Amino acid sequence: MTDLELRPIDRTEFPAFYRTLAEVFGETVRDSDRERMGTVFELERSLAVFDAGEIVATAGAYTRDLTLPGGPRPVAGVTVVSVQPTHRRRGLLTELMRRQLTELHQQDREPVAALWASEAGIYGRFGYGLAARMLSWHGAKDRLRLRRDVPLGSGRVTLMSPERARPHETAVYEALRPTTVGFLTRSDRWWDRRLADPEDQRAGATPRRHALHTEQDGTVTGFATYRTKQEWSVTEGPQGTLRVEDVMATTPGAYAALWSFLAGIDLHPRLTRYLAPLDDPLAQLLADPRALHAEVSDSLWVRVVDVGRALAARTYRVPVDVVLDVRDEFCPWNAGTWRLSGDASGATCERTSDPAELTLSATDLGAVYLGGPTLVQVAAAGRVDGAAATVSAVGLAFSGEREPWCPEVF
């Protein structure tokens, strides 16, 4: 970092900040994209590395709530991390991560940070653990049929303009958010960004379509958003693709009815679905389990910034009382022994001199924090020291009833 300056940017420097980010990610620099990013970007939480006045590395964070076991809690949504190719292998990324996490700790801000990783091998060395995964569905839509015994309810699916659909989609999302681990708060500005539909980002597909599921009493209980991209073969006919984006519902019947509607869209024999939950109920609805193929990939990575506050911020599936020895070289204020006591109503986590019952790294603590990967799985990889019975009991306490799911890349 010799002769380099690391600091937040001001408003006049935002265009250069955005340009660096776009160039590193191989994207076309567009004023429209910069303006959309600027509607949610938090200048005071930005970090940039300057070399002779030029921005050569970037990072930032969004102030949002993330639903944990027990409900929504503040999280630092780490984002826009980049380093110019001219300045790689010089420790800039490490300094950005260190500065960001140290400030979170020193300023008593969010006790947890979370991010989506552009490359999965990057963030483990900074203490982030893989806390949630996602599914991507793809396959033959013309074979997509639901089992005959699947109840579809008595509601109906209708298409609606984006403007008319938005308040209903917001209501469904808000009904799910308090109890769906991995969901993030969405202000009006975040909904604006989420629903933005610029033509240059459609990859040749149609504008986004909005389908709502409405009960007989008029209550909207689910929605789906999708695009289509048509291709034709002279000899084989339509070869288009249905690109499903969101499918959310507050009842099983609405969820099944939305998928029944999507399966009935003609002229598009292929289907893709990105950002689906790892335990997507769709797998249990299909008459032909081979109609769609699922690919698993990482989604949220979680960093426990302050062990005591972070572990006290969530609830636990069954009562737990355990002394943890946490290893953390990158954030040394976390290292040492902590007594965690909690249950489904709340928890405390404080320093203790009592002997440790389990030893694990902050990275692995982040991995199990949302209740996705279990402590038993982490221990099976040789990353937890402790009696098998203790690992099992504590793992059950950390686990969730459903897999964590974050349906939004930030």
Closest by CA position to 388, among listed 400, 376, 398: 376
Closest by CA position to 299, among listed 282, 319, 278, 281: 278
Please check whether residues 170 and 251 belong to one and the same domain: yes
Q: How far is CA 171 from CA 157, 182, 249, in A?
A: 17, 17, 11
Structure tokens that stand for 277 in this block: 């939950």
Residue 187 within a domain = yes
The helix (run of H) or strand (run of E) holding residue 254 is helix 252-263
Please check whether residues 80 and 26 belong to one and the same domain: yes
Residue 125 within a domain = no
End residue of a domain, out of 255, 273, 297: 297
Separation CA 366–CA 89 (nearest Å): 26
Please check whether residues 342 and 224 belong to one and the same domain: no
Please check whether residues 152 and 292 belong to one and the same domain: yes
CB 243 within 8 A of CB 275: no
Please check whether residues 155 and 211 belong to one and the same domain: yes
The residues that bridge with 226 in the sheet, in sequence order, are: 209, 244
Dihedral (C-alpha) 273, 276, 281, 284: value to the nearest 10 degrees? 50
Where residue 87 sits, what CATH number does that domain have? Answer: 3.40.630.30
Separation CA 50–CA 294 (nearest Å): 43
With residues binned 3-state (H G I as helix, E B as strand, rest as coil), the percentages for the chain, rounded to 5, are: 30, 35, 35
pLDDT at residue 213 in the model: 98
Please check whether residues 379 and 282 belong to one and the same domain: no
Separation CA 50–CA 156 (nearest Å): 56
Q: What total of structural domains would you count in the chain?
A: 3
Please check whether residues 142 and 235 belong to one and the same domain: yes
Phi, psi for 336 (deg, rounded to 5): 125, -165
pLDDT at residue 1 in the model: 63
Residue 21 within a domain = yes
Please check whether residues 42 and 9 belong to one and the same domain: yes
- Position 59, amino acid: A
Please check whether residues 176 and 284 belong to one and the same domain: yes
Catalytic residues: 123, 410
Q: HSE, CB side, 13 Å, CA atoms: give it for residue 200.
A: 7
Separation CA 343–CA 272 (nearest Å): 40
CB atoms within 10 A of CB 316: 23
Residue 119 within a domain = no
Residue 245 within a domain = yes
* First-residue to last-residue Cα distance in the chain: 28
Residue 408 within a domain = no
| DSSP 3-state of 150 | coil
End residue of a domain, out of 297, 330, 345: 297
Residue 147 within a domain = yes
**pLDDT tens, N- to C-terminus, the chain (410 residues):** 668 999 999 999 999 999 999 999 999 999 999 999 999 999 999 999 999 999 999 999 999 999 999 999 999 999 999 999 999 999 999 999 999 999 999 999 999 999 999 999 999 999 999 999 999 999 999 899 999 999 999 999 999 999 999 999 999 999 999 999 999 999 999 999 999 999 999 999 999 999 999 999 999 999 999 999 988 877 777 889 999 999 999 999 999 999 999 999 999 999 999 999 999 999 999 999 999 999 999 999 999 999 999 999 999 999 999 999 999 999 999 999 999 999 999 999 999 999 999 999 999 999 999 999 999 999 999 999 999 999 999 999 999 999 999 999 99
pLDDT at residue 80 in the model: 98
Separation CA 17–CA 57 (nearest Å): 8
Please check whether residues 147 and 70 belong to one and the same domain: no
End residue of a domain, out of 75, 110, 145: 110
CB atoms within 10 A of CB 162: 15
Separation CA 130–CA 303 (nearest Å): 9
Report the number of secondary-structure helices (H) and strands (E) in the chain: 11, 21
Please check whether residues 200 and 168 belong to one and the same domain: yes
Residue 116 within a domain = no
Please check whether residues 245 and 350 belong to one and the same domain: no
Q: Which domain holds residue 152?
A: 135-297
